[in-house]
């Protein structure tokens, strides 16, 4: 199995969640072993996708360099990771990735339009060798060894629409597209009002998020899945975990996980080479993985 990039450059325009202004997004192919690289066209600055470049995880995963940032990268990265793309240049002309409809469905569509191109260098994956856990109170995220990739996420909110939800994704590209990609980000009305008072979430609306008051969902169309909330948390987790730099094989499990905990988990994983093994996908193992990204 070989490394991949996209077959051709593609573009889209969407609203930035925090500034509420249009953002132009362009994806371009890169050569083997380039990895995922973000580029701010407006300030001519490139930021490689690495855990050490993460500068904020409070509201979203934010990377930065030399005082410049790119925010809300996790939904796009979730789709890129799910498609098994190893090398990609992501160009924006602002300090955030467009939010689109709050899910990763638009990014899946643009990747389908771009097509996947195989390169002539073997694909590398990370095998999780030890259990790694990051815990804060009752909240935790952890990785454990396994023969495939699975995401098991549980959330618990004191809200009548959400309550406790759990979802287990046995990962394939197709299961991701069908079961995860359309799940939208969500928030509570009082939080949105507070953020706007601080000059944030100016682009947030019922068009790109599920919004709840104290008792109900405010979106007239309702939910896309009955458990859309926990499915979106898996979407986020997939994007956040792409910061390890390659696809991995193992089980991810979380209770009330967050961007911050996911970031700490990537750091914990990478700080000790005994935690993982990087292998080139050749032979029988490559055939198994190819099925996942078919």
- Structure confidence by residue, pLDDT tens digits, 72-124: 999 999 999 999 999 999 999 999 999 999 999 999 999 999 999 999 999 99
Cβ-contact 39, 92 below 8 angstroms: yes
- Residue 199 confidence (pLDDT): 72
Q: Out of 105, 122, 139, pick the residue that ends a domain.
A: 122
- Structural domain range at position 49: 2-122
Interatomic CA distance for residues 193 and 204, integer angstroms: 10
Average pLDDT over every residue of 28-57: 96
- Residue 192 confidence (pLDDT): 76
pLDDT above 90 (res 48): yes
Interatomic CA distance for residues 4 and 125, integer angstroms: 13
Beta-ladder partners of 164: 156
Of 25-29, 34-38, 146-150, 188-192, the range with the lowest mean pLDDT is 188-192
Q: What is the CATH number of the domain that holds 11?
A: 3.30.230.20
Do 157 and 259 sit in the same domain of this protein? Answer: yes
Cβ-contact 262, 240 below 8 angstroms: yes
Do 179 and 196 sit in the same domain of this protein? Answer: yes
pLDDT above 70 (res 238): yes
Cβ-contact 187, 157 below 8 angstroms: no
User: Which is more confident, 49 or 293?
Assistant: 49
pLDDT above 90 (res 196): no
Do 260 and 188 sit in the same domain of this protein? Answer: yes
Q: What is the CATH number of the domain that holds 235?
A: 3.30.1700.10
Encoded tokens for 95: 């300090």
Please state, in angstroms and as integers, the Cα–Cα distance from residue 251 to each residue in 121, 128, 277, 286, following that order. 26, 8, 15, 19
Do 24 and 116 sit in the same domain of this protein? Answer: yes
pLDDT above 90 (res 37): yes
Q: Out of 122, 144, 178, pick the residue that ends a domain.
A: 122
Do 103 and 196 sit in the same domain of this protein? Answer: no
Distance of CA 251 to the CA centre of its chain: 16
Do 6 and 136 sit in the same domain of this protein? Answer: no
Do 270 and 147 sit in the same domain of this protein? Answer: yes
- Residue 268 confidence (pLDDT): 97
pLDDT above 90 (res 288): no
Do 100 and 148 sit in the same domain of this protein? Answer: no
Long-range interactions of 132-138: CB distance < 8 A, separation 24+ = 132/265, 132/268, 132/269, 132/275, 134/261, 134/264, 134/265, 134/268, 136/261, 138/255, 138/256
Average pLDDT over every residue of 129-134: 98
Do 35 and 140 sit in the same domain of this protein? Answer: no
Instruction: Give the catalytic positions in this structure.
Output: 259
Beta-ladder partners of 155: 165
Do 87 and 177 sit in the same domain of this protein? Answer: no
Encoded tokens for 84: 């098994």
Q: Out of 63, 89, 122, pick the residue that ends a domain.
A: 122
Do 287 and 149 sit in the same domain of this protein? Answer: yes
Distance of CA 191 to the CA centre of its chain: 22
Interatomic CA distance for residues 204 and 197, integer angstroms: 13
Cβ-contact 84, 5 below 8 angstroms: no
Q: How many domains does the chain have?
A: 2
Do 153 and 93 sit in the same domain of this protein? Answer: no
pTM of the model: 0.94
211 band by pLDDT with thresholds 50, 70 and 90 = very high
- Residue 59 confidence (pLDDT): 83
């Amino acid at each position: 199995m070989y490394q991949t990039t996209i077959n051709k450059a593609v573009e889209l325009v969407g609203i930035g969640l925090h500034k509420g202004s249009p953002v132009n997004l362009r994806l371009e192919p890169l050569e083997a072993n380039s990895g995922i690289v973000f580029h701010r066209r407006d300030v001519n600055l490139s930021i490689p996708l690495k855990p050490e470049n993460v500068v904020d995880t409070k509201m979203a995963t934010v990377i930065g360099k030399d005082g410049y940032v790119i925010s809300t990268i996790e939904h796009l990265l979730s789709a890129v990771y799910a498609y098994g793309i190893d090398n990609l240049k992501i160009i924006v002309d602002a300090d955030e990735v467009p939010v689109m409809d709050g899910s990763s469905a638009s990014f899946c569509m643009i990747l389908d339009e771009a097509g996947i191109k195989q390169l002539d260098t073997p694909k590398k994956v990370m095998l999780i060798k030890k259990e790694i856990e990051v815990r804060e109170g009752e909240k935790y995220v952890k990785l454990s060894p396994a023969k495939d990739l699975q995401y098991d996420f549980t959330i618990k909110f004191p809200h009548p629409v959400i309550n406790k939800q759990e979802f287990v994704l046995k990962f394939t590209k197709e299961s991701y597209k069908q079961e995860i990609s359309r799940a939208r980000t969500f928030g509570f009305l009082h939080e949105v009002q507070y953020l706007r008072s601080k000059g944030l979430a100016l682009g947030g609306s019922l068009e790109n998020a599920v919004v709840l008051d104290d008792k109900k969902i405010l979106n007239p169309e309702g939910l896309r899945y009955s458990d859309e909330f926990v499915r979106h948390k898996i979407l986020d987790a997939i994007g956040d975990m792409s910061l390890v730099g390659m696809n991995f094989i193992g089980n991810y499990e979380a209770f009330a996980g967050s961007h911050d905990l996911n970031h700490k988990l990537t750091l914990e994983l990478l700080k000790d080479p005994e935690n993982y093994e990087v292998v080139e996908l050749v032979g029988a193992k490559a055939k198994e993985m190819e099925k996942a990204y078919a």
